[in-house]
């Protein structure tokens, strides 16, 4: 009986266990906080991406309609201003080219809305850039051809739409380039590769 020891309440090991327990709890709380912050950031990023993709789809749909209307009036409304302007370049091929560029924009619009189409988003984006570039150039070419005519309304409409198509082409290209840079770790706001370090002057 003399060898039995009473538990010592002042054992320093108790303090070690307490500190380890508090450290574990604090680490667990910090981990949970980081995970919550990451989830919130992901939700904000997903919301921004969703708004951007819906906006791009809506703009593409708008230009598809404008370009399709230009081709339709050119081909099937011979007395319309569009047909009158197109005759100065030879007629029907202008209308068919408008229709072709309108259809070429459709895959990009769908890729902004549907995940199963979005797997080939880069290809669709490049096709849309080509379509917008051709449509914009065609609009502006028709404006130049009709510059000495009295078709003021159609010239203004074509000039505005042509400039907007070129701007849309550049916008898609900028977004595609930004996506590629981010995927390869070349984001200007993250990568230090394109920054010149500041060194104190010798003097």
DSSP 116-161: HHHTTHHHHHHHHHHHHHHHHHHHHHHHHHTTTSS-HHHHHHHHHH
Span 120-142, average pLDDT? 94
CA diameter of the chain:
120
What's the pLDDT band for 39 if we cut at 50, 70, 90?
low
- In the chain, the domains with their CATH numbers are 54-183 (1.20.1260)
- pTM, full prediction: 0.70
Span 122-146, average pLDDT? 95
Res 1: pLDDT: 46
Average pLDDT, the chain: 80
């Amino acid at each position: 009986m003399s060898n039995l020891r009473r538990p010592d309440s002042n054992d320093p090991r108790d303090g070690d266990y307490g500190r380890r327990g508090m450290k574990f709890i604090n680490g667990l709380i910090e981990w949970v906080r980081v995970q919550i912050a990451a989830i919130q950031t992901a939700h904000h990023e997903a919301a921004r991406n969703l708004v951007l993709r819906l906006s791009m789809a809506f703009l593409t749909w708008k230009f598809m309609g404008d370009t399709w209307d230009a081709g339709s009036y050119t081909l099937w409304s011979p007395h319309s201003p569009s047909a009158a302007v197109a005759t100065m370049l030879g007629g029907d091929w202008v209308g068919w080219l408008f229709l072709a560029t309108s259809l070429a924009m459709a895959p990009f619009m769908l890729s902004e809305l549907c995940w199963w189409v979005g797997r080939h988003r880069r290809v669709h984006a490049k096709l849309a850039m080509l379509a917008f570039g051709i449509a914009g150039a065609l609009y502006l070419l028709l404006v130049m051809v009709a510059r000495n005519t009295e078709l003021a309304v159609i010239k203004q409409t074509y000039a505005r739409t042509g400039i907007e198509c070129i701007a849309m082409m550049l916008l898609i290209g900028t977004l595609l380039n930004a996506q590629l840079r981010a995927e390869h770790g070349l984001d200007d706001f993250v990568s230090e590769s394109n920054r010149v370090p500041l060194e104190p002057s010798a003097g």
